[in-house]
Amino acid sequence: MPKANLLYAQSGGVTATINASACGVIETARKFPEKIGHVFAARNGIIGVLREELIDTRFDTPEAIRALRHTPGGAFGSCRFKLKSMDKDRAHYARVVEVCKAHNIRYFLYNGGNDSADTTHKLSQVAQSLGHDLICVGVPKTIDNDLALTDVCPGFGSVAKYIAISTLEASLDVLSMAESSTKVFVLEVMGRHAGWIAAAAGLAGKKDGEPPHIILFPEVPFEEPRFLAAVKSAVERFGYCTVVVSEGVRDVDGRFLAEAGTKDAFGHVQLGGAGPAIAEKVRAAHGYKYHWAVSDYLQRSARHIASKVDVDISVKVGVAAVKLALAGKNATMPIVKRTSDQPYRYQIVTAALGDVANHERKLPKDFIRADGFGITQAARTYLEGLIQGEAYPPYVNGLPDYVTLKNRLVDKRLSEYPV
């Protein structure tokens, strides 16, 4: 019998460190040639599996694979394509199993967030029912930091570091100009239902008067009169006001302030525009000169100031995922268990995918200040450890030297499958 092959795929919005997990997977799999034949990567996530577009990673040198540790984006391509319930989408699941059979793939590792954990869990069940011995392991990733059970989601620490730094630096700019120019700066960050990223902005200031002066969390209903009063108070006391707003902020009736009226491939309401919406409310009420910015893709791709802790965790969950697969631990996911706050210490442990999928972890109430506009010491203690250390990429001619893989596809063995 030929040796079993391993298939790795990336899913959902990429991060500054998802490729570090890919590095951990591929480097570790290459250390077990007696157990793993080929290491394949799907082009563009689960879509690539359905289309039988499998990348043969043998063509990439050890140096190129190691360079994934410091390269942002998704080296093999990702996708927003959700496999629905087995009753509604059984043909897709069966196709994935068919592709795995055709290429003797016995290990499937899916690197993503909540929807990816759900897909991986369901695939483990379908493969078993179809008689294919397939070990399915989730590899955690999401900048939203909303996966259940794990202390932190790989990718979050680097976003948290970027947002905290951006809040600090932009606020120094506004402070410099506030006497005769901009008095209010609004920064919109990602976070649909959970305010972890917005909370990270709170690390920028420790004392009264230091930015951000106001944080708007998805967990706290937006009350316009209270917000406008807080803005006015900050400007009068400190000369300016920095506001950090999560894209998922809702009003007291539960409506998104930035709902665009469309949905993405996962069925989520498309958001965008919380920042300018908030800024306009400030202008209309107080007439202050303002600027707003949307961190958008910048926050999740800023590998040049990534957290070393985050990079290390991202590699280690990739390593652990391969070891779980080789140990036959089906429908599992490596997660992070905190063992110390200062200094931050952790262990990689194992969770059942069924306990992770479809569970969303929001910002704890004791992380949000009593007035709803800032973070508590408990939040600061939790967050500070995750942004520690720098892991700068190598630079050439003043720019980061990121790697591009060959991404050569293997020959197809099945008929075309429209996706």
144 has catalytic annotation: yes
Taking 3-state DSSP, the helix, strand and coil percentages for the chain, each rounded to the nearest 5, stand at 40, 20, 40
For residue 316, what are its two tokens? 């280690």
Tell me the three state secondary structure of residue 168.
helix
The C-alpha atoms of residue 69 and residue 62 are separated, in whole angstroms, by 12
Determine which one of 60, 118, 144, 312 is catalytic: 144
- Sheet with 214-216, strands from edge to edge, namely 214-216, 241-246, 184-189, 290-294
Beta-bridge mates of residue 7: 40, 108
DSSP 8-class letter at 67: G
Strands 105-112 and 4-10: parallel
The C-alpha atoms of residue 103 and residue 273 are separated, in whole angstroms, by 45
Q: Which residues have C-beta within 8 Å of that of residue 197, sequence separation ≥ 6?
A: 143, 144, 145, 156, 159, 160, 163, 189, 190, 191, 246, 299
- Determine the length of the chain: 419
Residues annotated as catalytic are: 144
